[in-house]
Amino acid sequence: MYLNAAAIVLSARRSGDKDKRLSLYTREFGRLFALAVGAARPGAKLGAATEPAVEARFRLWREGDALSTRVTGGGVENGFPRLRVRWDRMAAAHVLCEWTERLTPPADPNPEKYDLLRRALSLLETADVAAVRLSFMARFLSLAGYSPARDVPGLASVPGAADFLAERADDDLSEVPSLPSGIPAPYLGQQLLKFVAPLLHTPLRSAAHEEDMKSFQLSAISSQLKPTALV
């Protein structure tokens, strides 16, 4: 049967030379897998819509209640373009998408989680990256039935994630407040990752890549600061 679904692309992997295998988080049907035939070809019509951290409207073919589907059409709803001009914002988007993929059961629709992820990706375009990521993770765990504020020291001091990520009629994303000074947001983020480690089984690949990039940048800056030997 054919399905029309709003979806956020959580991950996209090449399948052969021309196709992509997608992990989608759909608002209507939960997390599904999809094959996008020809989407990996240069200039493909579905190329932009099948990139990670993109919200798209897809037409899917699904056999019964199967978790795997086939993309038969679609287009970009929101590409979050300002994410893609700064590596730190895009890296954070990948972390949120992998977090959702790893901590969401297949075919279990949850519109609140979908809206939360879409909102967080929008905020990542302009707002404080650490604040958005931390608030997203805390709110996501709350929606999943966990109580991280009780078990992660310092998390209770973070502004309510529901308020931080709430939609407003007069929305100005550039004025979303940062987290208060005191306990660094990256530290709290690491504590949250430790909190969910038993559920993940293996660390988030995107988070590891992000740390590698930070280390590379620091080493590059350090090498530039070293005095050059006189010849």
Q: Global pTM?
A: 0.86
154 within 8 A of 148, measured Cβ to Cβ: no
pLDDT of residue 179: 55
Residue 130 has pLDDT above 90, yes or no: no
30 within 8 A of 106, measured Cβ to Cβ: yes
Question: What's the pLDDT tens digit per position in 38-83?
Answer: 999 999 999 999 999 999 999 999 998 888 999 999 999 999 999 9
Q: Which two tokens stand for residue 38?
A: 């020809």
Tell me the CATH number of domain 2-80, given options 2.40.50.140, 3.90.25.10, 3.20.20.20, 2.170.150.70: 2.40.50.140
pLDDT confidence of 128, banded at 50, 70, 90?
confident
Q: What is the mean pLDDT of residues 195-221?
A: 86
Residue 176 has pLDDT above 80, yes or no: no
38 within 8 A of 19, measured Cβ to Cβ: yes
